Chain A
């Protein structure tokens, strides 16, 4: 089994421990009452009685009231659950891009996912993991146990970036798999059709999932700094390349990228999804800080 230190540097772990102190006060489910769940269900905190209607679970009948009043009442409690967070990690080919500064996007994403898993598990939250490229490659359901974290990390270490990104069907299948509402943390470059992505996001949102979309960019992808003639080979598809003089298309590339970004930003905003674009040359701690800032709102 891979150790945590295999994928996280010691300073990252230290950084996480510092962050954990701060996170405790803000993360939903860590401190009871701070983030009272809006969802009703089984719990210990009684909320109210209501008349029985046909179809209600008979286990929830308050027999004492029936004994006293000869009427059927259902007992309702405030649900007092831990956060159910699912990290959806993009392992498509495009995430294998290693920029001129030497940081691979997937590596960065993996570290980020690990850090967040650690944070969540340490907050007693249930964490699940899904890796995907054209389809779901791994699915690890949500657990809170610390041993579960090792399982998550092991999966992450084993995963290598693979084929094309087709995020939309993955998200749709996710909607079927995640029966209970929770937090979905998408870590991807979202290099797919934005319209399809946003449609699937909509489905997830309708199911009541809260979504945080973390988009990873390499600095090269943001600035397109290439000078000499280049053969751009597609990381997601074999024998797919473009031979061109980058200086001549740079301006246009930047415009197209901005349009793509604007489309995503606008779409996520409409679906009330927190969207966090991140360049891979930012430290992970900064990325986590941004994440927590989002959670504090």
Chain B
């Protein structure tokens, strides 16, 4: 035990005062010649033994009072808890920089409070301590390359943390923190998890899910002290744009693009007439109004046609709630003159829809086929597979082989076309030679065909194969997750190629027989998609389904725009673009929504080059320019962060307890805990309680003795 005000211990000498009074009282005795002795003797007879004990007890209490008072004033500290002495510590702060930390609150947003509190935490670190900050949102990463002892510089760096990342992946974040802690130089290791403990991130852990990273961290030697620092917002009402789907990734001039927006009410109150604005290229075009039930959602659809070729931004913005950061959604629409597609028909026919590629032609150019005035983005050229020449590939962005017995053209030219960034779709069919496809086109993984073919599979018409109902993640098929995109399960398949599973080929859609319907493989800058069914109605009724049109359009536009960027990405990750080697050293300028620019130099990356920016922090439209070339990029926040409901404090406390960690929710709590850890536990409070108890006992004894 040590004392913070040890000098005040001298006050304990005051115990002599009651003792001296007691002794002096006994010495300064007056003599009374007393008559009523029998009465006094009766008094003493009744309580002589008890009285003596009580007298001594009273004296002991009176002596103890100044001693305990002096101990209390000297602020004793129990040092049994001091594990590592008063020296420096290695502190890792796991800061939740996810977007929910920005939610406004009475005392400032959790993010602001976290910055302030962390600055004060840094101020109280012993000299020589080293600190690392791990940003937990999205893909957890360290703020500094290595931990620093220059703690006075950290507040500035903390102030620059944008706190707009996606959800905290708790285990990943803890793993990053554990990695930092394991490199700690000092024996005293501490981990402070500073977060709003948003239920969407932490609920599963609170419900008992394991946290292997934390368990491993706690096994480190010496064992780190872990603190759960909760800074939650008191905001419960929030509106957000949960998702927005574009009807097409690439459109033609004047071709309308649809935008379906899902607006979510995370609060308990209903909202009426919430204004939702559509903005194109930064200009507000129109406004719709929606009403939202408590904890419900509403869907609103917009369409817009751009009249100029190039990249255009499209944004949806709603207004009304007190947390506007998640009220916008940004995307980029590419407007092209046209996409040129070569249809290679393996079984051409003069009959309407009799050829193997006829349905495809119809699906890719619906306006042209319907003789409508509207313009198709895609322009198709159909050739007979037997008469295919290399020249046919010129100017084409995508080639589709439909039921070709084999590739009659120059296979090397086709490979070159794909590797240069072209797209290839290969449909099966009754005329296709499986052996050739497997042997020469797949070529044990060396060829263009993505997978090996096991053989033909059949199903009866009574029990046809169907598309497996599952959440689709491929960019070309996300649109069909919503039933309004088309009922995929209505397509029936009687015959299909059974593909071998391959690690290099990514399934896009599966049949319910456990085999892929579409698989994709990348070949340098280009991609190949293999379809297990035919493009005509020979093996299935797929071409007869309404969703066949958007599906084919999306697959084609996906392949045609594969070397460009997607319509939008989530903030948190850096912009990465793979380019040809010739681009090494070229400088690009990335301009963020606030107008600040970052110059990025293309670096060599093997036989390619790579453009990589710093992690994108804020949502909005970014502009990437190099010379006359300009591309737009859209970044959005992760919508799961918009549900602000935090874990209740007692749940976090329970969680902390379960993981042998401490819990605090204020800087005072932290400082108290920190003092306890570094200096031991202050004991003045129990001493004060003891003092009060002694005073009470003194009065009690006095009264008891007086009563006899």
Contact = CB atoms under 8 A, between A and B. Distances in A.
B34 A252 contact: no
A232 B28 CA distance: 14
Nearest to A216: B35
A97 B26 CA distance: 24
B706 to A, nearest CB: 5
B32 A230 contact: yes
A97 B173 CA distance: 92
A29 B25 CA distance: 59
B36 A252 contact: no
Contacts of B42: 256, 260
Q: Which 9 A-B pairs have the closest CB atoms?
A: A252-B708, A94-B35, A97-B35, A232-B34, A248-B705, A234-B37, A229-B25, A229-B29, A221-B36
Contacts of A252: 43, 46-47, 707-708
A252 B41 CA distance: 11
Given A252-B47, A256-B42, A231 B705 contact: no
A105 to B, nearest CB: 7
Contacts of B301: none
Contacts of A260: 39, 42
Given A251-B706, A256-B39, 8 more contacts: A105-B35, A189-B36, A235-B33, A244-B40, A249-B706, A252-B46, A260-B39, A260-B42
B55 interface: yes
A189 B708 CA distance: 24
A293 to B, nearest CB: 27
Contact of A231 (B25, B29, B35, B36): B29
A191 interface: yes
A237 B41 CA distance: 13
B30 interface: yes
B706 A248 contact: yes
Interface of B is mostly: helix
A250 B47 CA distance: 13
A235 B46 contact: no
Interface string A73-98: 00000000000000000000111111
Interface residues of A, number: 39
A75 to B, nearest CB: 54
A228 interface: yes
A221 B28 CA distance: 22
Given A228-B25, A252-B46, A257 B32 contact: no
Contacts of B55: 245, 248
Interface in B439-456: none
Interface string B675-708: 0000000000000000000000000000001111
Contact of B44 (A189, A230, A236, A242): A242
Interface in A154-189: 189
Contact of B708 (A95, A237, A249): A249
B38 interface: yes
Contacts of A249: 40, 43-44, 51, 706, 708
A243 interface: yes
Nearest to B26: A229
B117 to A, nearest CB: 57
B37 to A, nearest CB: 4
User: Number of contact residues on B: which range applies?
Assistant: 20 to 34
A230 B29 contact: yes
Contacts of A94: 35-37
A240 interface: yes
A94 B36 CA distance: 7
Interface in B1-60: 25-26, 28-44, 46-47, 51, 55
Interface string A213-248: 000001001000010111111111100101111011
A98 B41 CA distance: 20
Interface of A: 93-98, 105, 189, 191-192, 218, 221, 226, 228-237, 240, 242-245, 247-253, 255-257, 260
B40 A96 contact: no
Contacts of B46: 252, 256
Contact of A233 (B26, B32, B44): B32
Contact of A235 (B35, B44, B51): B35
A256 B30 CA distance: 23
A234 B34 contact: yes
A96 B707 CA distance: 29
Nearest to A228: B30
A105 B35 CA distance: 10
B43 A231 contact: no
19 contacts: A94-B37, A95-B35, A97-B34, A189-B36, A228-B28, A228-B29, A230-B31, A231-B32, A232-B32, A232-B34, A233-B32, A236-B35, A242-B37, A248-B706, A248-B708, A249-B51, A249-B706, A252-B47, A256-B46
Contacts of B705: 248
A251 B51 CA distance: 13
A229 B55 CA distance: 13
Interface in B361-411: none
B31 A253 contact: no
Given A228-B29, A228-B30, A253 B35 contact: no
Q: Which of A189, A240, A253 has the most C-beta atoms of chain B within 10 angstroms of its own C-beta?
A: A253
B29 A93 contact: no
Nearest to B706: A251
Given A251-B708, A252-B43, A235 B26 contact: no
B40 A253 contact: yes
Contacts of B30: 226, 228-231
